[in-house]
A and B are shown apart, each in its own frame.
Chain A
Amino acid sequence: MHEYALAVDIIENVLSVADQNQARYVNSITLGLGKLTHVNCDQMQFCLETLIIDTIAREADLIFNEIYPNMECECGFSEKGGYFCASDASMNDIRAFFDQSCPVCGKVLHASGGRDLVIQSIDIEQ
């Protein structure tokens, strides 16, 4: 979907922070990727790899951290979303956070958070 535009925003931001800190190289870029965004991790990686060519971040490792939503219930139950993901990878998409029943009271759980796409940190060489 809109990975390219988001990747442009990310790299612009990374390079501007690197510049403010007199970086010669960016060694790594760490991103947090919410499970409930529609961002495809592989496509994002491809776009970022393309955009860092010819920049001081060209050698940077791209590190992705998945951010799970919290699954919450009116009854007070709360658990990290990863708990509800099946070990079968085919169901580990966005649908894993739909219509999950509360293990305590049986009501439908609400997914809170997990909509982030955040540049968590960069590792630079000055």
Chain B
Amino acid sequence: MLMHVINIGHDVLKANDKIAEKNNRLLEKNAVLAVNIMGAIGSGKTTLIEKAIIELGDKYRIAVIAGDVIADMDAGRIAKLGVTTIPVNTGRECHLDAKLVGKALKSIDLKDIDILLIENVGNLICPVDYKLGEHLRVVVVSVTEGDDIVLKHPFIFKSSDVAIIHKKDIAEAVFASTQKMEHDVRELNPNIPVMTTSIHDKTSMEQWFSTISSFADKLKQSC
């Protein structure tokens, strides 16, 4: 009987990062801006994506990867707007990972795309550990989740590039302070832009659209 120790050194989370880097290289090669949109269930991710498609669809060629645990309602909503939409069901998983996104990228003709919007599964915890190959990480929370939602999920705000505090028009009805939420984000991550938005406030929505378009333009110039 022989016993011995085998050193492995295989990092399960870094394995995802490597696939994410591969996705990123593929996206860059085709000058496609990828935006990972993360947020809780019901925070308004799908609506923000729909609005962005309607506003930016004339100028940019957009495709969407819509992640859900089981179901394709979101993908159905988005596909109605006439853009390429790939539904990705994670099964029992609470987040998209680089492998799932890599597989979805195979069914998109990246040469014909300028912007890829990736709607992550509704969750503020798990997506933090999983890079997808995106250029821009956007976290969306809404006032209906309670104005302490930001402090309860610090890591997602620390690892995002843009934060959106959504549904500001109903803040009063749910006793939430958007000022507190904005302040909490700035405390956690002073380096990222924070937008307080509502689909009924055109100026705030324009901020969202111009964030996407400015990053897409920047990527096009650098590629």
Comparing A50-58, A69-77, A83-91, A116-124, the segment that makes contact with chain B is A116-124
A125 touching B1, Cβ below 8 Å: yes
- Where chain A touches its partner, the secondary structure class is mixed
- Chain B residues whose C-beta falls within 8 Å of the C-beta of A38 in the assembled complex: 125-126, 128-129, 155
Chain A CB within 8 A of B26 CB: no
The distance from the CB of B102 to the nearest CB of chain A, in whole angstroms, is 16
- Chain B residues whose C-beta falls within 8 Å of the C-beta of A4 in the assembled complex: 92
- Chain B residues whose C-beta falls within 8 Å of the C-beta of A6 in the assembled complex: 12-13
- Chain A residues whose C-beta falls within 8 Å of the C-beta of B5 in the assembled complex: 121-124
Q: Which residue of B3, B4, B8, B93 contacts A119 across the interface (Cβ within 8 Å)?
A: B8
The distance from the CB of A111 to the nearest CB of chain B, in whole angstroms, is 10
Residues of chain B at the chain A interface (Cβ within 8 Å): 1-15, 92-95, 125-126, 128-129, 154-155
Interface contacts beyond A119-B12, A121-B8: sample of 8 additional A-B pairs, CB < 8 Å, sorted by A = A13-B8, A21-B6, A118-B8, A118-B9, A119-B8, A120-B7, A124-B3, A126-B2
A-B residue pairs, 6 tightest by C-beta: A126-B2, A118-B11, A119-B8, A1-B126, A117-B13, A9-B12
Residues of chain A at the chain B interface (Cβ within 8 Å): 1-2, 4-6, 9-10, 13-14, 17, 21, 27, 34, 37-39, 94-95, 98, 115-126
